[in-house]
Amino acid sequence: MTNQLLNIVQENFNHNINIYPRREGLYQLILPIYYDDGDMIDLYLMECPDNKEKLRILDCGMTLMRLSYTDNIDSLINEKKMDELLFQHKIQNKEGNLYLDTSKEFIYQNIMQFIGCQQRIHDLRQSNEVINTFFYEKLDEFIISELERFKPKKKVIPLKDFPVLKVDYVFEFCKKPFYLFGVNNKEKAKNIAISLIEFQKAKLSFISLIVHEDIQKLSDSDQVYLTQNADKQFPTFDIFRQFGCSTIERLSF
C-alpha cells in the first residue's frame, strides 16, 4: 500500500488515527473506539487483492474469535442474526474473516460502517441466544488439580501484537511448550485453527493439544480444518481426563 493511500486515510480521520504495519501489505488501524467491555476494536487495512484501485477493510478474524474467548463460558451467537447483520452492512465473511472492499473516496464511511457491524455482532453475545456450558469449568478444575506438575498458565498471548489470539492453557515444563485449547462449538474450533495458523506463520515452536467437549458436534469440514493444523486432539473431555497426562509426558522432550 502506498504512502499516498495511507495519507488519504489519515486525512479522512483528521489525523486522529494511528496506522501501524503488521506484516507486508497489512496495516492495523488504531482508533479510540471500543466495545462496551472496554476492549479496542480490531481493524486492519490492505489493498484489495482483486482490484488495486480499492482498499480492503478487514478484521483478520478477530471479531468472531473474541466472542469464543470468555472466562469459563463459551458463547454461541445466533448465526441467522449475524448473517443478517453482515448483509445489512455489505460485509463478506470468508471462514470467519470479515472484510469490506471500498474505494478511497468512501474510506471513512465504510470504516465506520465496518466498526458499527463489529459492535453489533459483539452485542449478540449479550442476547438470549447465548448458550452456557460447564465444559471449561471442568477442564480448568482438572488441569489445576491433576496437571499442576506441567506448570500450566492460563489465557496466554504468544503474539503480543495480536492479543485476541489467546491460548487457553500453556504448559512450559520442557523445551517445546504445549498449547492446549478447549473446544465446545464450531466457532471456537474455527478460531483455534486460525490461531494455530498465525502461530505457525510467526514460526513459534510449540505442540498443540485440542480437548473437545464432543468432537461429533462439529461438522466434517470443521473437524478436518482442525486436524490439518493441530498436533493432537482428544475427542471428548473424558478421554482427555483418562489419557491427557500420559500423552503430554510421551510428547514432551
With a cut of 90, say whether residue 203 has pLDDT above it: yes
Q: Can you tell me the mean pLDDT for 99-127?
A: 86
With a cut of 90, say whether residue 129 has pLDDT above it: no
Q: Can you tell me the mean pLDDT for 7-19?
A: 85
**Cα–Cα nearest to 186, from 155, 213, 235, 219:** 219
Who has greater pLDDT, 111 or 72? 111
CATH topology of domain 3-124: Yope Regulator; Chain: A, (3.30.1460)
pLDDT tens profile 20-47: 888 888 999 998 888 877 788 899 999 9
Whether the CB-CB separation of 174 and 207 falls below 8 Å is answered with no
- Please give the pLDDT value at position 104: 87
Query: Is 54 strand, coil or helix?
Result: strand
C-alpha cell at 48: 484489495
Who has greater pLDDT, 230 or 122? 230
% of the chain at pLDDT higher than 90: 49
Contacts 24+ apart (CB under 8 A), 204-208: 204/158, 204/159, 205/176, 205/177, 206/158, 206/176, 206/177, 206/178, 206/179, 207/176, 207/177, 207/178, 207/179, 207/231, 207/232, 207/251, 208/178, 208/179, 208/180, 208/181, 208/232
pLDDT tens profile 52-68: 889 999 999 988 887 66
User: For the chain, what are the domain ranges?
Assistant: 3-124, 135-251
pLDDT tens profile 219-248: 888 898 899 999 999 999 999 999 999 999
DSSP code, position 112: H
Q: Can you tell me the mean pLDDT for 172-193?
A: 91
Q: Name the class of domain 135-251.
A: alpha beta
Q: How many Cβ atoms from other residues are within 10 Å of residue 81's Cβ?
A: 14
- Please give the pLDDT value at position 98: 95
Buried b (16+ CB within 10 A) or exposed e, 127-151: eeebeeeebbebbbebbeeebeebe
- Please give the pLDDT value at position 185: 85
Phi, psi of 209 (to 5 degrees): -125, 130
